[in-house]
Chains A and B, each alone.
Chain A
Amino acid sequence: MNSTIFSYYPSEQKPGGLKVAIQPNMSCEGWPSNAGSRALENYTALEDATVIRLLKKAEARIVGSVHMGELGFGLAGDTGGQAVRENLADVALITDNMGEARVAAAFSGLVGFKPSCGIVSRLGLIGLIPSMECWGVIGRKIPHINSVMAVICANDEQDFSMTGETLPDFNKGLLQFKPSETIGVADKYEERLTTTERSAWKTAILAMENAGFQIETIKMPEPKLFAQVHNVIAAVEASSSAGKYDGVRYGHRAGGTANWNEMYLKSRGEAFGTLMKAYLFQGAYFQFENFAAFENACGARGHLLDETIHVFSQVDWIASLTTREKPHATKTESVAKHYEAFDFTIPASLLGLPAIQLPGIACDGNMDFGLQITGSPLSDPELLALGAYLEPKKGGGAEK
């Protein structure tokens, strides 16, 4: 095992099935769980998250815990993709708040999957943005991802935020896919792209057409709206979620303080990184100073969902690139740049839709921006089947 990739791994590896890498915000009994933040330094998980329990029961091997971005916000320092690429794990679980799993997969030339909101229990996920976060799965092979989903997509009566509807069935294996379906592309999407991005995008369109899909132009809401609405709501939720990191019961507590207020201020000041602080400040601003903006954002989120669901009455899937040429998502220094880096993955996170990142399709030379396909709610197994159909069989462009 490798400690630049893993923040923790058990000294004795059990033999068994699929090798699964996790992040230190996914509770695994007895393992350090600092969620990539000093706010939770020396915190150890008391019990398994539902997902971990299900995986253990299915005899998966939880090989270790990788490094992650602070509290699952962004990808600075994340090593999940590396763990899979270097074959230390078959799949890695990456928390997806705004596209982290898909973008991490794209950077490593892997498949990344973000399930529909509410089909995987969040119990034991040390989260930040409850209405958006989910367990993303990245891997080299779609069948691996499908078999993980078949295990972890299960009702959990301890997570009241699950859909309560009939869950999608991943156990039928990857269905034989019929490429008579339509894939939508947002009107004027190309205008948003750089020259290199546009070239990669054209390759992807060609690959989809060659695979037999019909490409249709669709009218999508103003792209900037998704990011703005995501930013306001997610920052508020993050501010609330991170409220518990006060150093009273666990985590980092600053020394030499005279009273509670000083203890709070100093402990939190020392606990969070610059990007996280900026984000929490934003959230607190909307909570305390501009609640009307937050309410507007909640209303807008509903409209965005309605409009996007309407698009799915016209086309079966929506396609875009996964990543941008710049800024690079692991190296963002401001919240604004951060949102730019996750531009294409934010809509599915904001609206709770399933989305898959496919490598080797949207390429320009040796630049692979990743092809992202987004589906309607609960179309997850079909989306994986589509991915398996579209996935290049031996690298470089789709084959029939």
Chain B
Amino acid sequence: MTYEAVIGLEVHVELNTPTKLFCDCPNRPGDLPNLNTCPVCLWLPGALPQLSQEVLEKAVTACLGLNCTIQTESAFDQKVYYYPDLPKGYQLSQHHKPLAKNGWLDILVDGRKSRRLGIHHVHLEEDVAKLLHETEGRTPVSLVDFNRAGAPLIEIVTQPDIKSSEEAMEFLKVLRTQIRYTGASECSLEKGSMRVDANISIRPHGSGTLNTKVEVKNMNSIQNVGDAIAYEIKRQTGCLEKKEPVVLHTRLWDPEKKMTVPMRSKFSGPCVPDPTVPAIFISDTWLAEKKAKLPEMPARKVDRFIKSYGLTRDEALVMSQDRDLSEFFEKTVINYHQPRKAANWITSHLIPALKELEKSISEVFLTPDRFQSLLCMQDQDKINAKAAREVLLRLLDENKSPEEIVEEQGFRQLSDIDALEALVEGILQDNSSGIQDYKAGNTKALGFFMGKAMKATQGKANPKLLKELFTRKLA
């Protein structure tokens, strides 16, 4: 018998608002422990939560980016459980009336075919405190850091539409791109601003039943999510083949051992409507305003880049992956009339360089104007391609124009015909054996002469002119 997997994801995304969900404390979990706290997020007796309008707006924007229907009425519930990371004994979340429902995202399967995956709902909730377990000392202690308590999260719950680990990874990439575009979150699994739980079950191929699922947690990269799902599909298929029952529980992904290990039985606490935070009512006018503010999303941008700049679909896809980078590209080509060359430079040189530095385009000194002048200098043979690549790297770190760097570093290309001619003649005089090789049909000799000339000019000679001169003189 062959089996198929049924996969659903629960994705927590930490919104990047300046303040927390129910108080004015800074939303900076990484600060000194317990610095960003107040009676509300410590849940001291007598404190009352105050829903942040800004968080609501960001959450709605993110939901619009996921093609969801925003609900006219949504409300908070108390998810009751006792744990020291949750000082009031319940987490405020939206269980019965979520903020948004019925979203979708299109993913590319096998790099070509488009498939639409459903999002069941998106709800708002508060993050809990962070526990630090000090086990090194004489008496092990557990410490609680409340900086993260009350930080705003949205939880995205997909339909069980996903069929493979590849689809799950693709879905997460598209989701990340969409939410990053809306500006609501950086969505980094590595940095903890996105957390993914996967629910996986297995059934005989083609049957419509939903079997007992297993929840897997603790994946801190998209690759980990894929690996964990692939492992779990294999494990559960093994269980079915051995006629062992699959039990409802939660497992942890161990990235070292590359396997999932059982953690606990799945949580199922009560969810009671919260009487303190009033229900959220969203009017059509307010929603229309938020929709109007939504940026152009990647799918439409790709089409426009193809149409307006003559990019290929692949080039357009790369140029629109990251909103900041797509805006950088567009600003570059306002005054630069070779959009495909700009796109190729961004793809082949700029993106790898940023990756190397682990920075985004907004974190470096390079501006679209400077990038544009750099490309022009190369077009006009003022510098050669090799020098242009070096100038590009310096433009990321230094707050200078490309002209300044070219002058400082002496990158300017040597294009003076008289000077080059003298150089060529000198080299030919000193290397008469090479001339004979060339005349005997050894084309490598030309490369040898070019190398000599480049060395003599520290790589600054215009290679096109140089080649022309050598060819003419050797003829």
A residues adjacent to B (C-beta < 8 A): 25, 27, 33, 35, 40, 43, 45-47, 49, 122-127, 130-131, 157-161, 236-237, 239-240, 242-244, 246, 248-250, 260, 264, 287-288, 291, 294, 298
Contacts and interface: CB of A to CB of B under 8 A. Distances in A.
Given A161-B276, A248-B144, A287-B272, A243 B48 contact: no
A244 B42 CA distance: 10
Contacts of B49: 160
A25 B45 CA distance: 9
B272 to A, nearest CB: 6
Nearest to A33: B45
B275 interface: yes
B84 A260 contact: yes
Contacts of A250: 44
Interface of B is mostly: loop
B438 interface: no
Interface stretch (B87-95, B227-235, B337-345, B399-407): B87-95
Contacts of B273: 298
B206 interface: no
B275 A246 contact: no
B275 A131 contact: yes
Nearest 9 CB-CB pairings of A with B? A243-B89, A131-B275, A126-B45, A287-B270, A244-B88, A130-B275, A124-B46, A126-B46, A27-B46
A131 B47 CA distance: 15
Nearest to A26: B46
A172 B119 CA distance: 56
Nearest to A45: B46
Interface residues of B, number: 31
A140 to B, nearest CB: 28
B48 A158 contact: yes
A243 B46 contact: no
Interface in B9-49: 39, 42-49
A6 B227 CA distance: 65
B448 interface: no
A237 B90 CA distance: 11
B252 interface: no
B46 A240 contact: no
Contacts of A298: 273
Contacts of A291: 270, 272
Given A243-B80, A244-B89, 17 more contacts: A40-B45, A126-B45, A126-B46, A130-B275, A130-B276, A131-B275, A157-B50, A159-B48, A161-B275, A240-B78, A246-B87, A248-B84, A249-B144, A260-B84, A287-B270, A288-B269, A288-B270
A46 B269 CA distance: 32
A27 B47 CA distance: 10
Contacts, number: 87
A125 B269 CA distance: 28
Nearest to B142: A260
A157 B24 CA distance: 13
Contacts of B43: 244
A337 B12 CA distance: 47
Contact of A294 (B142, B272, B276): B272
Contact of A161 (B87, B90, B278): B278
B51 interface: yes
A33 B45 CA distance: 9
Contacts of A264: 82
Contacts of B90: 240, 243
Interface in B232-286: 269-270, 272-278
B124 to A, nearest CB: 15
A248 B87 contact: yes
B104 to A, nearest CB: 31
A25 B44 CA distance: 12
Contacts of B42: 249
B272 A240 contact: yes
28 contacts: A27-B45, A33-B46, A46-B39, A47-B39, A125-B46, A126-B46, A130-B276, A157-B50, A158-B50, A160-B48, A160-B49, A160-B50, A160-B276, A161-B275, A239-B80, A240-B90, A242-B89, A243-B80, A243-B88, A244-B45, A244-B87, A244-B88, A244-B89, A246-B84, A246-B87, A250-B44, A264-B82, A291-B270
A243 B84 CA distance: 11
Contacts of A243: 80, 82, 88-90
A124 B270 CA distance: 27
A35 B44 CA distance: 13
